[in-house]
Structure 1
Amino acid sequence: MSQLGATITPEGIRFAAWSSAASRLWVSIFDERGNREIDRLELRSEGEGVHALFVAGLAAGTRYGFRADGDYAPERGLWFDPDKLLVDPYAVEIDRPYVCDDRLAARRGEGTDTAPLLSKAIAGALAEPLAALPPLFQPGGLVYEVPVRAFTMLHPDIPKQQRGTIAALAHPAVVEHLKKLGVGAVELMPVTASIDERHLPPLGLRNAWGYNPVTFMTLDPRLAPGGLAELRQTVAALREAGIGVILDLVFNHTGESDRFGPTLSLRGLDSRAYYRHWPDGSLANDTGTGNTVACDHPVVQEMVLDTLRHFVRHAGVDGFRFDLAPILGRVEGVFDTDAPLLRAVRNDPVLGDRVLIAEPWDIGPDGYQLGNFPPPFLEWNDRYRDDIRRFWRGDRGMIGALATRLAGSSDVFAKAGERTSRSVNFIAAHDGMALADIVAYEHKHNEANGEQNRDGHNENLSWNNGVEGEAGDEAIAKARFDDQCALLATLFASRGTIMLTAGDEFGRTQKGNNNAYAQDNEITWLDWAGRDQTLEHYASGLAAMRRAAPALSDTRFLTGEPRPGSEVPDVAWLTETGAPVDERSWQNPERHRLAMVLGGTGDGGCRLAVVVNGDRRACMFTLPEREGFFWGPAMETSAGAFDISQPVPGRTVVFMIERKVGPARIEENP
């Protein structure tokens, strides 16, 4: 296919757009401020749906948009209207943020030219592609989910004019924090340009998450005032610190929404091709947002691939997280694990070695596809999230599920002979309650969203830890702190890739709001000044221990047998008495205690024990001893130093490491 978008040459600019159904297309050229249309030139058909025109004398910085004409029959999915300015789907820069306005959804013939209301694409000359470097991030590492704006808006060390931007992530104070946590890659929540949903402005709200894109390659000017160069420089700075960058991208829908939504780009160019429709002409809605991008259409597939290549070549990112990823694998509406787009991403010479993370569900038919994406896709594992929450909430019969999740979820990912886990383990994410709120709110509190608390999930598997039988704010605060430590310790003890949402390591709260997408304010902005530094110190200790114990970040499934070259089984599951967990114990609904003893720590054959006491009562644990070794703490507990000869406190995870007996110890203990 001919190159689409605006291609700059020394003589001028070639403009090209694709539409299989438009009868005429134009490019509108605007003045240097993007306010006045100074020319409207018709594109010429080049075949196969490509319409293009070379305009001599234009240069980088030209502001432009497309217009299209043809049949107008919304009931059949046809929306052609030359009064609608359309943003180039291949635009890499726009001159201003997208702004929601009801007039953008005006019907044809109502006399509304939308050019004054809509952002203009800026024709830009891209920098030379970066040298191809392998991703820094490797499975088993820590992914740190970052909402760019909320992360730095209140950071006292970052200059005010830089707060809320991508550039702020390269600030030394941020880099130091990331390194202290052992972050392998930051996963940036959408940084491409998005538009508010139409119901938000009347409520005085705006989309704070960015999961409502218009064009896929364009960075949001509010997050990247320096454009693509800002992202490129930040990626380079983080890479120098040993930290990769993963972009969270939305290819499943756009902000054009349902039939009442605005016409901004794809809808006006060729809605029937770019979006999935039912036979009667109505929009399919497998996303819950009003439309569904037709990722089985060849032109859409090429646009997605071009977008991914663009961010690798020109920003140097490590990889991508795909929102509502089954959409990318739907062929005629049915998910196919070997869908052309999924296969093309894996086999592409630019993309094949990138980190690929799927959110493996949408709301369409058979939309829950956990475990069904092809390798090397990693997958968000909500079964991990739910089972770990249930265990620490105190639900009965969860000890077997706890072990399965700690061990990498082989029940989900050990398919077709796979020997490694592709699980992304997480306890909290942007969507849902913050980790601190899980232990403080039994029910959601989304009143600030303006929907009478009807939005968001009703079941959060959370609890209000008011400490039954005890009174006093201090006791409640301690119980909630201990539960946060237990949840964090479980996460860092789990095999597979782990994900932590920014701020959960120091007790961020959204006051019980589990759907804070519309809260671009103190509800989502991280409170750096008021952060729980004791919890943060504990999280940093967990990170250091995980880095020092390869058995924790290993992604191979556990077998209970020794690895080649070792005499120590890769895992032993034990009761508090040190006896192997038998079938009766696994099935005991009242059991809340477990020891996972891992071999292969990389420390001379020493073992690592993860001791979990999910009961509220303290309990003695016995660990198996070997001649020439002794058990010592792998790290401090949340309450300080701990020795296995002491009872393990209730609601606690303790890490013990086996160490070789040295000469002095042999002398003291003949």
Structure 2
Amino acid sequence: ATVDEDNVTEGYNWGYDPEQYFVPEGSYASHPEDPYSRLIDLRKMVAAFHKEGIRIVMDVVFNHVYEHKTSVFERVVPNYFFRYEKNGAISNRSFCGNDVATERAMARKLIVDACVYYVKEFGVDGFRFDIMGLMDLETMKVIQQEVLAIKPNFMFYGEGWQMGDESDHDFKCASFSQAFDLNGYGFFNDWYRDIIRGKSNEYDQTPRGYLLNSQSHLEAFKYAYKGSSFEQYVTRRFIDPHQSINYVECHDNGTLYDKLETALPEEGISERFERLKMINAAVLASYGVPFIHMGQELGLSKKNHQNTYRAGDDLNKMDYKLLDERFSLFSYHADAIKLRRSLSFLHELDLDKIEQSVSFEDLENNAVKISYDLSAYSSEYKDFIIYINPSLETLYDDLDEYHQILFASGGNVLSSQTFVRHVMIKARSFLILILK
């Protein structure tokens, strides 16, 4: 509602202000004045991505509308479609002026029908639910049931933030508190983000997490690395790692590069890139679902702006010039993704297998050695070792046998012929050694 589809350069907004759930955003259409254009263009776009082997996840906003008083839902059936607090005030836990009463039968039907519509008519492959923690549990289960009947490999995930006191409701919300009752749904794991890079908010970006050389997050890192799915250090959060969306950057707030620049101002650009590569490799190695925001791999910056939803393209755009200027970063991350996809044990969801196969050894200066026992897998590796060193010092480790370097912060996957027994782990580095 806040985007002028005929003049997209004015009043820039990400568009989290829905009016009609069945109407795709028109500002991207070739002819926004033609109602059919946005439908045809969206179908063509999804088909084109599918042709290239790319699946499409649709960001859906069912937890609120732009303005409840003028909403067609309010005008058709007053006081039905929206929640109210006990004092009679309109509920505003979304901080968007209203909260949709997803738990009510006809509101639920509308939302479920909309989800089915986008799967059947446009062929989308996943839904990312904005402020999923405000939607009721039963509606999410019905969505899942109806959509999986159409497309069995569909992906569901969202923001499971707990928005206020859930005991006020006579229904359960689809927040982290109900993760064990939402098998098949992923959650943006803010614990993972804060443990890895440090907490952040709009006003303070200085706190440092484990991979920003904090001295107090190593045990928490081990918990996060294993998918936040074990009673270890803090309470188990998920059924298994499939529910953990592991991220350190997304559309909200500043970028990872901005965080590094603010929290570690003493490090220069080359050191920042070293740390960025180490962090992103750790995200890709962790149990769970790795989430890499576009441009994160290139050190894209929003100039430290922490809330860019209406800041314009200058801050929000993907700068493709960086792809030429920092192509080595691109290649590094392409190699890291290729490697993760080839290693089935990093995708493990069975908690017993994870517990039996992974062990951690604390090294000097808060670095860590992660060793894998792959005897339960059909693996070519007798030994698989990951070293992560977020410190400012080079460290050393001695092994009983010579191991091959499979992957290092400097690059290549499956091509190194370097074998080491006295291992050097550079500052701000990620290293994988193997023994066949």
Is the structural similarity TM-score above 0.5? yes
Match of residue 282 from structure 2 = 490
Match of residue 159 from structure 2 = 359
Match of residue 360 from structure 2 = 573
For 2:215, which of 393, 396, 400 is the aligned residue?
A: 396
What displacement does 1:352 show?
6.6
The within-5 A match list for 1:310-349 is 310-329=117-136, 339-348=137-146, 349=149
User: 2:256 is aligned with what amino acid?
Assistant: L
CA 1:621–1:502 in 2, change beyond 3 Å: closer, same or farther? Answer: same
User: 2:161 is aligned with what amino acid?
Assistant: W
What displacement does 1:559 show?
5.0
Match of residue 343 from structure 2 = 549
For 1:212, which of 3, 6, 17 is the aligned residue?
A: 17
Identity rate, percent: 21
What displacement does 1:425 show?
0.4
Q: Which has the higher contact order (CA 8 A, sep 6+)?
A: 1
Distance, in Å, in 2 between the alignment partners of 1:387 and 1:265 is 43
Alignment check: 8 A CA contact 1:385 1:427 kept = yes
What displacement does 1:504 show?
0.7
The within-5 A match list for 1:422-433 is 422-433=243-254
What displacement does 1:343 show?
2.5
What displacement does 1:439 show?
0.6
CA 1:482–1:643 in 2, change beyond 3 Å: closer, same or farther? Answer: farther
Match of residue 382 from structure 2 = 606
Distance, in Å, in 1 between the alignment partners of 2:400 and 2:158 is 40
What displacement does 1:388 show?
0.5
Match of residue 11 from structure 1 = none
- 2:113 is equivalent to residue 306 of structure 1: yes
Alignment check: 8 A CA contact 1:551 1:599 kept = no
Alignment check: 8 A CA contact 1:613 1:652 kept = yes
User: 1:360 is aligned with what amino acid?
Assistant: G
Match of residue 650 from structure 1 = 427
Match of residue 409 from structure 2 = 637
What displacement does 1:308 show?
0.4
User: 2:315 is aligned with what amino acid?
Assistant: I
CA 1:250–1:314 in 2, change beyond 3 Å: closer, same or farther? Answer: same
Structure 2: gaps (5+ residues): 31-36, 167-172, 198-208
The within-5 A match list for 1:271-290 is 271-290=78-97
Larger Rg: 1
Distance, in Å, in 1 between the alignment partners of 2:274 and 2:89 is 51
What displacement does 1:234 show?
2.4
CA 1:379–1:272 in 2, change beyond 3 Å: closer, same or farther? Answer: same
Deviations 1:165-202 (A, max 9, x none): xxxxxxxxxxxxxxxxxxxxxxxxxxxx9x99xxxx9x
Distance, in Å, in 2 between the alignment partners of 1:597 and 1:528 is 38
Distance, in Å, in 1 between the alignment partners of 2:411 and 2:392 is 15
For 1:536, which of 315, 330, 336 is the aligned residue?
A: 330
Deviations 1:234-282 (A, max 9, x none): 222322332211111000111116x6xxx24323323411111235542
What displacement does 1:495 show?
0.9
RMSD of aligned alpha carbons: 2.9
CA 1:605–1:303 in 2, change beyond 3 Å: closer, same or farther? Answer: same
Distance, in Å, in 2 between the alignment partners of 1:481 and 1:553 is 27
Distance, in Å, in 2 between the alignment partners of 1:541 and 1:499 is 16
CA 1:495–1:420 in 2, change beyond 3 Å: closer, same or farther? Answer: closer
The within-5 A match list for 1:67-106 is none
User: 1:613 is aligned with what amino acid?
Assistant: N
For 1:383, which of 173, 191, 194 is the aligned residue?
A: 191
What displacement does 1:539 show?
0.9
Distance, in Å, in 2 between the alignment partners of 1:560 and 1:552 is 9
CA 1:377–1:511 in 2, change beyond 3 Å: closer, same or farther? Answer: same
What displacement does 1:556 show?
3.0
Distance, in Å, in 2 between the alignment partners of 1:221 and 1:521 is 17
CA 1:362–1:205 in 2, change beyond 3 Å: closer, same or farther? Answer: farther
Alignment check: 8 A CA contact 1:431 1:515 kept = yes
Distance, in Å, in 2 between the alignment partners of 1:362 and 1:303 is 24
- 2:343 is equivalent to residue 524 of structure 1: no
What displacement does 1:432 show?
1.6
What displacement does 1:508 show?
1.0
TM (norm. structure 1) is 0.55
What displacement does 1:546 show?
0.8
CA 1:624–1:301 in 2, change beyond 3 Å: closer, same or farther? Answer: farther
What displacement does 1:419 show?
4.9
Alignment check: 8 A CA contact 2:3 2:12 kept = no
CA 1:594–1:422 in 2, change beyond 3 Å: closer, same or farther? Answer: same
What displacement does 1:345 show?
1.9
Structure 1: gaps (5+ residues): 1-96, 101-192, 330-338, 442-462, 468-475, 562-568, 577-589, 660-670
User: 2:130 is aligned with what amino acid?
Assistant: D
Alignment check: 8 A CA contact 1:320 1:355 kept = yes
For 1:595, which of 369, 392, 417 is the aligned residue?
A: 369
Match of residue 170 from structure 1 = none
TM (norm. structure 2) is 0.83
Alignment check: 8 A CA contact 1:506 1:536 kept = yes
- 2:259 is equivalent to residue 438 of structure 1: yes
Alignment check: 8 A CA contact 2:134 2:175 kept = no
What displacement does 1:351 show?
6.6
Match of residue 200 from structure 2 = none
- 2:318 is equivalent to residue 499 of structure 1: no
Match of residue 94 from structure 1 = none
User: 2:252 is aligned with what amino acid?
Assistant: D
User: 2:156 is aligned with what amino acid?
Assistant: L
Distance, in Å, in 1 between the alignment partners of 2:349 and 2:273 is 29
Alignment check: 8 A CA contact 2:135 2:174 kept = no
- 2:255 is equivalent to residue 255 of structure 1: no
Match of 1:345, SS state, is helix
Match of 1:635, SS state, is strand
- 2:29 is equivalent to residue 224 of structure 1: yes
Distance, in Å, in 1 between the alignment partners of 2:88 and 2:61 is 24
Distance, in Å, in 2 between the alignment partners of 1:490 and 1:306 is 39
What displacement does 1:350 show?
3.4
What displacement does 1:306 show?
0.6
